[in-house]
C-alpha cells in the first residue's frame, strides 16, 4: 500500500494562522500544472509500481483548480503509477469554491472524498481567521456535497481561538454531528512563527492563545464525539465506523508515499525527501527536467523516534512487540521502563502489548513522545 500527495500551492487569500506553502497569485498556475505533469513522469519509479491506494490533493487550496485540470492530473497519475481501482482520492476544498455543478463534475472526474475547510460556522470566527468564505457558505457547501452524492467527506474545525466560547464550540461540533459528517479533523489553534497571527499577537492586536481553554475544549470535543459514535482514532481525527482517512492512516503506519508539487514530502521507508518550497524555482527546475528536492537518509534512531511519535498519536498505540522485532529487545525495554512514570501518573496505559495515551495523556502527547525519544 502506497500513497501519493499532490501539493497545490495557491490560495485566494492568506489565513492569519497558516504557515503552509502557498501563493495568492494565480498567474503562474498554467506553468505550475505543466511542471507538475513533468514531475509525475520523472517520479514514476519512486514507488516501484506498488499499488497506490490513496491520492490526496492538498495545499494551498486544490479546489481552486478547474475540474478539467484535476482530470488531466488524475489521468497522468494513472498513466505513470499503479493506481488501485478502489483508491481513495481526496480533494481538499474551501466552501467558496464549491457548488452543485462543480461537485458533480468532481465526482465524475474520480474524486470520491472531500476534505472541506470549514474551520467554524460562525461569521466572527471566520473574519478573525481571515478565511475567504462566510458562515452561509459553510452550511451551503455541506448541503451541496451531500446532494451531489459525496458520502465520504470530512470537515476541518479549529478550537481554542480567542472569542470561541465553549457554547460556540459545542454548536460548531453539534452542527457537524447533525449533518452526520462521517469524519472530523479538529485542531487546536497553533501560533506559527512568521504568520500574520504571530505578528498580531506579538504587537498585542490579538489576544494570545489560552492553553487552559484549548485543553478544556479538547476534552469537551472527546466527550461530544464519543457520545455521537465517533472513534477518536488519532489525536486530531474522529471517524464514524469504517470512515477513517486511509491516506493519513498510511502516514501514521509508516507506509510509503510520494509527494508532488512545491514543498511536498516523500518517504520510501529508508529516506525522506522534500521539494523546494518556491513556485518559480520548482517550475524552472522541471522545465529543465530536474527534480528540485533535498534528501536525507533516515538512521535507525530517526525511524524509531518517528514510530514513537506517530504511534502514540493513534488509538492503536505503541507496540512493544513491534519495537522489539524492528529495533531490538534492549530498546523496547528502555521504552517500557521510561513509560512507567506516565502510566503511574495516569497519562498512559499498558495492556500487556501496547502503550496507549489516556484521555488526559492526549493533552500531553508531543511532550510524552519527546521524553521517550532516543
Residues 6+ apart with CB under 8 A from 139: 121, 175
Q: Would you state the pLDDT for residue 1? A: 82
- Coil, strand, or helix at residue 290? coil
Cβ atoms of 184 and 154 within 8 Å: the answer is yes
What is the mean pLDDT of the segment spanning 68-77? 98
Q: Is residue 282 part of a domain?
A: no
193 with 325, same domain: the answer is no
Q: Using CB atoms within 10 A of its CB, is residue 179 exposed (0-12), middle (13-18) or buried (19+)?
A: middle
- The predicted-structure confidence for 170-221, as pLDDT tens digits, reads as follows 999 999 999 999 999 999 999 989 888 889 999 999 999 999 999 999 999 9
Q: Would you state the pLDDT for residue 20? A: 85
Nearest CA among 184, 131, 123, 128 for reference residue 153: 184
Statement: residue 98 has pLDDT above 80: yes
Q: Would you state the pLDDT for residue 244? A: 98
- The predicted-structure confidence for 154-167, as pLDDT tens digits, reads as follows 999 999 999 999 99
| Cell numbers that stand for 50 in this block | 506498488
23 with 165, same domain: the answer is yes
Statement: residue 16 has pLDDT above 80: yes
Cα 211 to Cα 15: distance, rounded to the nearest angstrom: 21
Statement: residue 26 has pLDDT above 90: no
The band of 70, judged by pLDDT with boundaries at 50, 70 and 90, is very high
Cα 134 from chain centroid (whole Å): 22
For the chain, counts of helices (H) and of strands (E): 15, 15
Q: Is residue 179 part of a domain?
A: yes
Cα 355 from chain centroid (whole Å): 24
Does residue 1 or residue 207 have the better pLDDT? Answer: 207
The band of 36, judged by pLDDT with boundaries at 50, 70 and 90, is very high
- Coil, strand, or helix at residue 219? helix
CATH code: domain of residue 236: 3.20.20.70
234 with 105, same domain: the answer is yes
- Coil, strand, or helix at residue 143? helix
Q: Is residue 294 part of a domain?
A: no
Statement: residue 126 has pLDDT above 90: yes
Last residue of a domain, one of 251, 285, 319: 251
Q: Would you state the pLDDT for residue 198? A: 82
Angle between helices 67-80 and 100-109 (to 10 degrees): 10
145 with 57, same domain: the answer is yes
| 85 CB neighbour count, 10 Å cutoff | 5
10 with 113, same domain: the answer is yes
Q: What's this model's pTM, rounded to 2 decimal places?
A: 0.95
Last residue of a domain, one of 234, 251, 268: 251
CATH code: domain of residue 319: 1.10.10.920
206 with 346, same domain: the answer is no
Q: Is residue 291 part of a domain?
A: no
232 with 326, same domain: the answer is no
Statement: residue 269 has pLDDT above 90: no
Q: Containing domain of residue 176, as a range? A: 2-251
Nearest CA among 181, 88, 109, 171 for reference residue 142: 181
Q: Would you state the pLDDT for residue 58? A: 97
Q: Using CB atoms within 10 A of its CB, is residue 305 exposed (0-12), middle (13-18) or buried (19+)?
A: middle
311 with 207, same domain: the answer is no
The count of domains in the chain is: 2
Cβ atoms of 32 and 287 within 8 Å: the answer is no
Q: Tell me the residue ranges of DSSP E strands in 167-301.
A: 183-188, 231-234, 237-239, 256-260, 265-267, 271-275, 293-297
Cβ atoms of 129 and 158 within 8 Å: the answer is yes
Q: What is the 3-state secondary structure (H, E, C) of 189-204?
A: CCCCCCCHHHHHHHCC
Share of the chain above pLDDT 90, in %: 91
The band of 259, judged by pLDDT with boundaries at 50, 70 and 90, is very high
The band of 28, judged by pLDDT with boundaries at 50, 70 and 90, is confident
Amino acid at each position: 500500500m502506497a500513497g501519493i500527495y499532490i501539493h497545490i500551492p495557491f490560495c485566494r487569500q492568506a489565513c492569519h494562522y497558516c504557515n503552509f506553502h502557498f501563493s495568492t497569485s494565480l498567474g503562474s498556475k498554467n506553468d505550475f500544472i505543466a511542471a507538475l505533469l513533468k514531475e509525475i513522469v520523472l517520479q514514476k519509479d519512486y514507488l516501484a509500481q506498488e499499488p497506490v491506494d490513496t491520492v490526496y490533493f492538498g495545499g494551498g487550496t486544490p479546489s481552486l483548480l478547474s475540474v478539467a485540470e484535476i482530470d488531466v492530473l488524475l489521468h497522468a497519475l494513472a498513466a505513470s503509477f499503479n493506481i488501485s481501482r478502489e483508491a481513495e482520492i481526496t480533494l481538499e476544498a474551501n466552501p467558496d469554491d464549491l457548488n452543485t455543478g462543480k461537485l458533480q463534475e468532481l465526482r465524475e472526474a474520480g474524486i470520491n472524498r472531500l476534505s472541506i475547510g470549514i474551520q467554524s460556522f460562525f461569521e466572527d470566527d471566520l473574519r478573525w481567521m481571515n478565511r475567504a468564505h462566510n458562515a452561509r457558505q459553510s452550511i451551503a457547501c455541506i448541503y451541496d456535497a451531500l446532494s451531489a452524492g459525496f458520502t465520504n467527506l470530512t470537515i476541518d474545525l479549529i478550537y481554542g481561538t480567542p472569542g470561541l466560547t465553549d457554547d460556540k464550540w459545542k454548536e460548531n461540533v453539534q452542527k457537524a454531528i447533525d449533518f452526520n459528517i462521517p469524519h472530523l479533523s479538529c485542531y487546536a489553534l497553533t501560533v506559527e512563527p512568521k504568520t500574520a497571527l504571530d505578528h498580531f499577537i506579538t504587537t498585542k492586536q490579538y489576544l494570545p492563545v489560552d492553553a487552559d481553554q484549548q485543553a478544556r475544549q479538547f476534552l469537551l470535543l472527546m466527550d461530544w464525539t464519543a457520545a455521537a459514535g465517533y472513534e477518536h482514532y488519532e489525536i486530531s481525527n474522529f471517524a464514524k465506523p469504517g470512515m477513517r482517512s486511509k491516506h493519513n492512516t498510511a502516514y501514521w503506519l509508516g507506509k510509503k508515499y510520494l509527494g508532488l508539487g512545491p514543498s511536498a514530502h516523500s518517504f520510501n521507508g529508508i529516506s525522506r525527501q522534500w521539494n523546494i518550497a518556491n513556485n518559480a524555482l520548482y517550475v524552472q527546475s522541471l522545465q529543465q527536467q530536474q527534480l528540485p528536492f533535498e534528501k536525507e537518509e533516515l538512521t535507525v534512531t530517526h525511524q524509531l523516534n518517528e514510530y514513537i511519535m506517530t504511534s502514540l498519536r493513534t488509538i492503536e498505540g505503541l507496540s512493544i512487540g513491534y519495537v522489539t522485532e524492528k529495533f531490538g529487545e534492549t530498546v523496547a525495554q528502555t521504552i517500557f521502563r521510561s513509560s512507567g512514570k506516565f502510566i503511574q501518573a495516569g497519562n498512559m496505559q499498558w495492556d500487556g502489548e501496547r502503550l496507549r495515551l489516556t484521555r488526559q495523556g492526549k493533552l500531553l502527547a508531543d511532550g510524552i513522545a519527546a521524553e521517550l525519544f532516543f
